[in-house]
Amino acid sequence: MLARRTLNAISYPLSKSAHGITRGFYGSRFTPKARGMATSSDDLVGFGQRHVTAGIGRLTEAVMSKGEGSYLSFEDGRRMLDFSCGIGVTNLGHCHPKVSKAAADQCTSLVHGQCSIAFHLPYLRLIEKLLPVMPDRSLDSFYFWNSGSEAVEASLKMARSITGRQNIICMQGGYHGRTYGAMAVTKSKTVYSEGFFPLMPGVFSTPFPFWHQSGLPPNTSEEELVRLSLYQLELVLKQQSAPKDTAAILIEPVLGEGGYVPAPPTFLQGIRKICDEHDILLIIDEVQSGFGRTGKLFNVEYSGVRPDIMTMAKGLANGFPLSAVVSRKDLTDRLKPGSMGGTYAGNPVSCAAAVAVAEAFEEEKVLDNVSARSHELLTSLHSLRNDPVVGPNIVDVRGAGLMVAVEFASPSYPLGDPALNPSAPKGFAARVARRCMDKGLLILTTSIYEVIRFIPPLNISQSDLEKGCDIFAAAVKDVIREG
């Protein structure tokens, strides 16, 4: 009786008069039939704005209703070409039939197979799929969790526990997530840590070889940027965190939230050398750059560098919550049983989806498509840059595979920044993204700079890629015209 009354008390606030929405969630008394479901997209958005925490920012105030391949539909009737992929997740497009079927089938056999109770089959099958494609043969010990942040947290715990050392060196401009440990090693924007101090101690940062990061012009040679960054890293080890106190160096091989900047292979090789000299572990965060996003299965393959620990998520299960940490058995054998784990870690439905992703990747020759579409995308962006009106507004086109960025000039960069241009339009990237949306293309900005990132599905068709590039070019021209 009490339970029923409590339920009703929860249900009442969902009535239209109190909250502007009549969709019922609890029991037949409040079903859409009994109350009349709100059909207006505006009502739904209003409800969301009132009841979803303000801590979440959104690209658009709308309600997603359906994802199909490279397209996303909304309750307000719009259907958009999706160059965001849910922030680099739906690499095989929305609701890939093979992946959705594998998940649906798994739902009828085992939904929750808790990893501290026993092994389960999709977990083991997924390891079987991943083992042969790891960027180094030594990477043979896996741990699955739900999100990228959790994978990063696990990698930090592993590094501290395995080495018996405390400090972590990360990169200025790096992004690793929003949970406490991941937030402490995130240095891309202050919004992720502002108001949340004190952060996890024992974290030191050093400049990523990115011209902005050193206040140098965009055409600075890669060699010079690498030399400066390795020099700064050596200084951190001499002035701030002694090698004997340093457990790990953590790096994204392509800065994501920092502006879509690939690390030159020589930088990763230099870090590997420093790690080897001092028995420091190298953690490579492939959460965003992994699973074919940059043209190889893992971006670190471009450098041939061996990670000691590698984190993965996003494309791993094409939208089902799943992340992974891989390391060497000789290292992970040093962890105490029970020190790692989580109620939902390595969920069977997500693992079954990830197995299907691995199969589809091979069957559909996805990497070949990445290579062809990447060439077309970069050609289109470079030709836009060659346009006499647009060109002066673009300071950089960069990236690899289908993880590509365009950076615009800005009148509000810090004084001394080489991309500072007092006559450039204000808020360029966000305005371009809004214009693209008006024209039917979902596209994201990134970093503290004026950067638009291109992360279309890896299996996108030639015509859809071309359509997106045309919309982008038109949006850029609109913003320049408006000034």
Select the residue interacting with ligand PLP from 165, 176, 293, 373 (CB under 6 A): 176
Stretch that binds ligand PLP, among 64-72, 153-161, 172-180, 206-214 (CB under 6 A): 172-180
Distance CA 3, CA 254 (A): 52
Q: Which position's Cβ is nearest ligand PLP?
A: 148
In the complex, least distance from residue 323 CB atom to ligand PLP, rounded to whole angstroms: 6
Of 471, 476, 381, the closest CA to residue 81 belongs to 471
DSSP-derived 3-state class of residue 387: coil
| Subset of 353-382 contacting ligand PLP (CB under 6 A) | none
Told to check if 285 binds ligand PLP by CB under 6 A, we report yes
Select the residue interacting with ligand PLP from 38, 130, 134, 152 (CB under 6 A): 152
Distance CA 260, CA 254 (A): 6
Q: Do 74 and 62 meet the contact criterion of CB atoms below 8 Å apart?
A: yes
In the complex, least distance from residue 156 CB atom to ligand PLP, rounded to whole angstroms: 12
Distance CA 69, CA 90 (A): 9
Mind giving me the DSSP string for 282-295? EEEE-TTTTTTTTS
Stretch that binds ligand PLP, among 4-12, 174-182, 335-343, 383-391 (CB under 6 A): 174-182
The site that binds ligand PLP (CB under 6 A) totals a number of residues, namely 14
Told to check if 149 binds ligand PLP by CB under 6 A, we report yes
Stretch that binds ligand PLP, among 11-19, 136-144, 165-173, 284-292 (CB under 6 A): 284-292
Select the residue interacting with ligand PLP from 24, 93, 122, 148 (CB under 6 A): 148
Q: What single letter denotes the amino acid at residue 342?
A: G
In the complex, least distance from residue 446 CB atom to ligand PLP, rounded to whole angstroms: 10
Residues shown for the chain: 483
Question: C-alpha distances in angstroms, 9 versus 14, 148, 283?
Answer: 10, 37, 49
Of 353, 250, 253, the closest CA to residue 293 belongs to 253
Instruction: Return the number of the residue (176 or 306) whose C-beta is nearest ligand PLP.
Output: 176
- Joined tokens for residue 262: 């690939």
Instruction: Return the number of the residue (206 or 380) whose C-beta is nearest ligand PLP.
Output: 206
What stretch of H or E contains 272? helix 265-278
Told to check if 207 binds ligand PLP by CB under 6 A, we report no
Instruction: Return the number of the residue (90 or 410) whose C-beta is nearest ligand PLP.
Output: 90
Instruction: Return the number of the residue (43 or 257) whose C-beta is nearest ligand PLP.
Output: 257
Question: C-alpha distances in angstroms, 24 versus 64, 156, 427?
Answer: 19, 43, 41
* Burial class (CB within 10 angstroms; exposed 0-12, middle 13-18, buried 19+) of 364: middle
Told to check if 313 binds ligand PLP by CB under 6 A, we report yes
Of 383, 398, 393, 364, the closest CA to residue 482 belongs to 393
- List alpha helices for 319-365, DSSP H: 329-332, 348-363
Told to check if 87 binds ligand PLP by CB under 6 A, we report yes
Instruction: Return the number of the residue (175 or 298) whose C-beta is nearest ligand PLP.
Output: 175
Told to check if 147 binds ligand PLP by CB under 6 A, we report yes
Q: Do 452 and 260 meet the contact criterion of CB atoms below 8 Å apart?
A: no
Query: What x-and-dash track marks residues 410-449 binding ligand PLP by CB under 6 A?
Result: ----------------------------------------
Instruction: Return the number of the residue (303 or 380) whose C-beta is nearest ligand PLP.
Output: 303
Told to check if 259 binds ligand PLP by CB under 6 A, we report no
- Joined tokens for residue 220: 């600075």
| Subset of 234-253 contacting ligand PLP (CB under 6 A) | 252
Select the residue interacting with ligand PLP from 287, 326, 381, 469 (CB under 6 A): 287
Distance CA 86, CA 409 (A): 26
Residues near ligand PLP (CB under 6 A) are 87, 147-149, 152, 175-177, 252, 256, 285, 287-288, 313
